[in-house]
Structure 1
Amino acid sequence: MATIETTLFSLDAIAASGQVFTWRRARGGWLVACGRRRCLVSQKGDAERGTVCVRRADGGDPDGDELAFWCHYLALDVDYGKILGELAMPAEVAEVGAGIRVLAQDWWDAAVSFVVSQNSNIVRIQRTMDALLDAGGGCVPEPGQLAALLGDEAFATGLRLGYRRPYLEALAARAQAWHPARIDRWDVSLEESMTELEESPGIGPKVASCICLFGLGYLEAVPRDTWIKRAEREHHVAWDARWGGIQQQFVFAWMREKGRGK
């Protein structure tokens, strides 16, 4: 087991933030999947200051490369104190979102998750993603495997995808011979990546921006759902040009909390 001292970090806040659907509760923490990798993570302490424990999915100790991978995935190599200081969000927003960080997810995991997520709720999304994780041996099925699974009528019907099914089928077919240009070249602009992603049927600006933020490292990308549009309309939120995606996660948590209070 490897331990990492943390500040401004909360596994539970991240899990509840709506950005990731490849985590499952396990052994006092979370069983996390990213691409073909899996690990067990747990936390002691709180969002202000704590300790994160990382183990391999089989319970063994991660080696140095594995630990570096998971530190990057969990955004523990990003100075959130500096970023949040520059964002200067209202105290209420910062408090509600305490501990949230934007994960560096696998782009394919994010793409599948957010195509599944359209016009759905977190419980239904997680149920569908859990079925896909089970079918993929604990990881999101790769494009060829996903295409085969969706071709199995009984399995596909059980996913209850509705109108999303052909969108996921089209994405799986396309991704067998393609991945976003951002994977190879980090100088690809957000606008270029959005356009490329939106060439897939069923991927519009909201889903494309989610993939860009959560799967391709564009921390300026701002997915705009109902809560975020309401924040813009009612609270005149303006998005930071560099860290708008991080800001969005805090505003999203704040708006949902305000909504629950009504």
Structure 2
Amino acid sequence: MATFETGDFSLRAIADSGQVFTWRELGRGRADARYLVASGTRRCVVSQRGPKVVVLTPSGGQPSPSSLSYWRRYLALDVDYGRLLDSLPLTDEQRAASAGIRVLRQDWWDVSVAFTISQNSNIPRIQHAVFSLMDTGGGRIPAPRQLSRLLRDEGFAAGLRLGYRLPYLRALAGRATGWRPRCLSEKDVPLAEQMAELEETPGVGPKVASCICLYGLGYLEAVPRDTWIKKAERAYGIEWDPTFGGVQQQYVFAWIRGAGATLG
């Protein structure tokens, strides 16, 4: 059994943080949090009871060393989050709003699809569309070429209930069939340049591009700014950390959602 013992980590807080849509909860109401997790072509089952985090294969077996290394990095278990959070300008109330959140290192394509779907939507609708795609893709988000084929099936596409987002998802799949973000093949691509490249895709604006950069491409300074975050900036004069602003944003967002803030 692959077990990690760690602090400043909560599977449930991460699952509820709005950053990931490829997790399926197994047995809600259990004493331990337990999820079937998909990332790219990989899947595992992750559970937590207290400080102990267990990673297994979907069939309940022991992950290979390479898989275990992947999931450790994916879950940011290789980061001292206590020290990281101590370095951020967070109030005690903000930090406690959803203790245990970590920014996952997700597959960039998973994030791109999910956040293209998520625009001006709600969690149940986003989850319906993402799970429908994963069910068709054998438990994973279909690769770009496969997704393009699926979306040409008008019946299947209509069942996703995407509305005006459907052309955006088609455009994303079409572009990604022969392209991937520049930072995956070049070192030290500045955030602004990577954002601009992503925004060349129809339907990918600054919010979606920043989500892709933060959750899928490792730019921890990227700050997704929706209406609530912009209101918090104005109401509280929030300034974002230049290195870990995206992590800071997760805690501020959790604080806002928990009614810890009064916004005009």
Normalising by the smaller structure, the TM-score range is over 0.9
1:206 maps to a residue whose letter is K
SS at match of 2:258: helix
The ranges of structure 1 where at least 4 consecutive aligned residues each deviate by more than 6 angstroms after the TM superposition are 259-262
Distance 1:102 1:114 in 2: 15
8 Å contact from structure 2 (residues 23, 35) kept in 1: yes
Query: How many Å apart are 1:261 and its aligned residue?
Result: 9.4
Q: Counterparts in 2 of 1:1-262, with a 5 A limit?
A: 1-26=1-26, 29-45=34-50, 50-258=51-259
Question: Which region of structure 1 is more displaced relative to structure 2, 10-19 or 54-63?
Answer: 54-63
Percent identical: 60
Q: CA deviation at 1:88?
A: 3.7
- SS of corresponding position for 1:40: strand
Q: For residues 6 and 123 of structure 2, what CA distance do their matches in structure 1 show?
A: 27
> 2: CA distance between counterparts of 1:134 and 1:260?
38
| AA partner of residue 177 (structure 2) | Q
Which digits, 9 at most, give the CA deviation of each residue in 1:49-89, with x for residues without a partner? x0000001121110111111000000011111111111041
Secondary structure of 1:53's aligned partner? strand
Q: Which amino acid aligns with 2:112?
A: A
The worse-fitting range, judged by mean Cα deviation, of 149-158 and 23-32 is 23-32
- Structure 2 counterpart of 1:32, which letter? V
Opposite residue 20 of structure 2, the aligned amino acid is V
What's the CA shift for 1:260? 9.8
TM-score after normalising by structure 1: 0.96
Partners of 2:257 and 2:216 in 1: how far apart?
23
Q: How many residue pairs were aligned? A: 258
- Please tell me the residue identity of whatever aligns with 1:117: S
User: What residue ranges of structure 2 are gaps of 5+ in the alignment?
Assistant: none
Residues in 1 aligned to 2:254 and 2:38: alpha-carbon distance in whole angstroms: 23
Deviation string 1:135-163 (CA, Å, 9 cap, x unpaired) is: 11110000011001111111000001111
Q: TM-score, normalised by structure 2?
A: 0.95
In the alignment, the residues of structure 2 paired with residue 122 and residue 157 of structure 1 have an alpha-carbon distance, to the nearest angstrom, of: 18
State the shift of 1:227 in Å.
1.4
Aligned-pair CA distance for 1:193: 0.5
Equivalent-residue separation in structure 2 for 1:186 and 1:60 (angstroms): 36
Over the aligned positions, Cα root-mean-square deviation in angstroms equals 1.4
Partner Cα separation in structure 2 for residue 261 and residue 134 of structure 1:
40
Report Cα offsets for 1:218-237 as digits up to 9, x if no partner. 00000001111111011111
The answer to whether the 8 A contact 2:89-2:241 is kept is: no
Partner amino acid, structure 2, of 1:111: S
Q: What are structure 1's unaligned runs of at least 5 residues?
A: none
Counterpart amino acid of 1:138? G
Answer whether contact 2:255 2:261 (CA < 8 A) is retained: no
